[in-house]
Amino acid sequence: MLKEFREFALKGNVVDMAVGVIIGAAFGGVVSSLVNDVLMPPLGQLAGKVDFSNLYVNLSGTAYPTLAAAEEAGAAVMKYGVFLNTVINFAILALVVFLLVKQINRLRKVEPPPPPDTRECQYCKSDVPIAATRCKYCTSELATA
């Protein structure tokens, strides 16, 4: 059992997947920083000097001046600004992964499928060689290809 596990773990696909997960996690951190630290501040300025990460709906009924104050008091809040940041994170990450996969597929040489070496008999629907003039199953004469 240990031998089977070692063979499984050392297969190329498993190792490639592990490397991809590690790099993906690191890249997710970079994208989060890009959204939170680079993109959202200018968007907040354009939207009237709003810090999106501080946008919330207070569900407790008591007024709080900031999200931090509401959280410190233990109030139930809906943090839609944080959700908005997360959605933008996801959109950027999905776009980058899409573009990356598209480029990898473009660079990967795709061989066209080989031409067929058989055709279907029009009478018995069996596969016969392309060059055949008579079906080996029903012995019907075949039209030339």
Q: Which of 42-46, 65-69, 121-125 is the most confident on average?
A: 121-125
At residue 145, the pLDDT reads 58
* Structure letter (DSSP) for residue 65: S
CATH class of the domain comprising 2-110: mainly alpha
> For the segment 25-48, what is each residue's pLDDT rounded down to a tens digit?
888 888 888 887 888 888 878 878
Domain boundaries, the chain: 2-110, 116-145
CA torsion angle for 45, 48, 54, 58 (degrees, to 10)? -170
% of residues, the chain, pLDDT over 70: 97
pTM as predicted: 0.55
Q: Return the pLDDT at 134.
A: 92
* Dihedral sign for Cα atoms in the order 5, 11, 13, 16: positive
CB 88 within 8 A of CB 37: no
- Please, what is the average pLDDT of the chain? 84
